[in-house]
Amino acid sequence: MAHSVQSTFKRTISLTAVLALLGGPLEALAQAPAQPLQPAPGGTAAPNANPAPANPGGQMLPVPPTASPSINPPPAPAPMASAGPASIADMAEGLLDAVVNISTSQSVKDDGAGPQPQIQEGSPFQEFFDDFFDGEGNQGGNQKVSSLGSGFVIDPSGYVVTNNHVIEGADDIEVIFPNGSKLKAKLVGTDTKTDLSVLKVEPKAPLKAVRFGNSRQMRIGDWVMAIGNPFGLGGSVTLGIISARGRNINAGPYDNFIQTDAAINKGNSGGPLFNMRGEVIGINTAIISPSGGSIGIGFAVPTELAENIVHQLIEFGETRRGWLGVRIQPVTDDIAASLGLDRARGALVSGVVNNGPIKNGEIKAGDVVLTFDGQPVNEMRDLPRIVAESPVDKQVDVVILRDGKEQTVKVTLGRLEDSVDADDDSDKPDAPDEQGQNNDPQATPPGDQPDQSGQADQADKGAASTFGMTLAVLDEEQRKSFNIAESVEGVVVTAVAPNSPAAQKGVKVGEVIVEVGQDFVEKPEDVLKRINALKAEGRRNAHVMVSDTAGNLRFVAMPLE
């Protein structure tokens, strides 16, 4: 045990000596004053700088405070480039005041809610049933029905453009402006063929108005903006592009709609479609929608069609359209081949209206109109629209194809009257030659052949068959039998076999073959000779002029192969 105590004492002495030796340098280090660091070359402090000598006085100095860590915020982000189209807020703000709501009301006959149950006279429920089924205070069985649409001011004096279907049949028309003010409107004029109407209000001060732009300059993909009154929510702005041009939706004879994906809903009808210069290039008219709401398929009447009509309605209260006085039909691929055209284009003239603008045979049945007043006629429906847009009494150049050669003729246009009788003689299309199978009850069914005496009579009269139709000379007996007009000449069709080429082209019993390959035919053998001649020339189709019993002409292309 003594040994253990002695060893412990020796270790304690040794440890004390070591601490005494180290105490001096540690005290000097603790009392050394803090010296500023000298910047290294380039402004950076030297990492291994030697400390300054200790304070010679040996006095204790306070420890310097610890430096706070510096905070370096990230640099400000650079301005971001626009990720979409430029804002249209400024443009919309300047146009909203010119777009109005159209409110209409009309009286309609109220037939009640249905048959009224038989209630015993004097029953306490009698008054309740009378009110429910007949309406309280119902006088004369009429009630007021209201509707809303859109429109826009085209002249500061108070002319407003909208759709005809927005105000059609209305007893009262009211124009509601963005500031909430209302003015009664009167109908200046309407055009049902383009679904356009012009209204007039009497403002106390000039109104904010917009101007028409040139829709012909618009291209597919151009930005457009619609403003209107969808579902009664006035002043709604939507943006989209032109999806297509020249759309035909069978809304009228002059369909040439702009298609857009800008949202158009119920109530937008009659509102403007603007380009990015704030000009009206279309009047929103229709949508395609299975649900009643916008699915991105809307249609607007282009201003290239609407502007002239609006000006005519303002000036005359009616439209004044040009009139050529011809009946036309499409140029199909078969007809184009039979006429020697490079492709199907133009409008085929199937007849000329008596006492119309064509007085000296400038245009004849069988001609193909290729260009009208410098504008190409790419398809049949182009011609009525171009003619209608032309001024009355204007002399125009018309390029036609006749006998395989192009020639230019001059025609002075008449005026198309907006009446039922005039419409029958307008530049309207005839039925196309592709009519499908012949369902005429007079057609000869398969297996039903004329008796021997009938064949003998036909042989005596020079009857012949071709393309599945039986032909005969048009004499007085045949004329009376089929009630054919005296002005019609040619070869009469006495029978048509079902599913034959003639039946598929819509040829019917009692009709008359007038020309084959642009040559007049008088006897059945003339038809056969002309067909054989066309085959020898290597033609694939025979161009055949057909007349109905009243003398209305059309053309069909009979296949020769």
Spatial contact of 505 and 434, defined as CB atoms under 8 Å apart: yes
DSSP notation for 358-393 = --SSSS-TT-EEEEETTEE--STTHHHHHHHHSPTT
Q: What amino acid positions are annotated as catalytic residues?
A: 165, 195, 269
Q: Where are the beta strands (DSSP E) in 60-168?
A: 99-109, 142-155, 159-163
Nearest to 222 by CA among 230, 211, 214: 214
How many Cβ atoms are within 10 Å of 12's Cβ, its own excluded? 10
The 8-class DSSP code of residue 139 comes to -
Phi first, then psi, for residue 460 (nearest 5°) are -65, -30
From residue 557, alpha-carbon distances to 330, 389, 538 in Å are: 12, 31, 15
Q: Residue 136, class by beta-carbon neighbours within 10 Å (0-12 exposed, 13-18 middle, 19+ buried)?
A: exposed
Any bridge partners for residue 558, and if so which? 542
Query: Would you say 240 and 260 are in contact if contact means Cβ atoms under 8 Å apart?
Result: yes
Per-residue tokens: 472: 């005969």
d(CA 63, CA 14): 32
- Cα–Cα distance list, 288 to 205, 292, 373, 388, 534 (Å): 39, 8, 34, 27, 47
Amino acid at 288: I
Measured N-to-C along each axis, helices 303-316 and 382-389 cross at an angle, to the nearest 10 degrees, of 40
* Cα Rg, the chain, nearest whole Å: 45
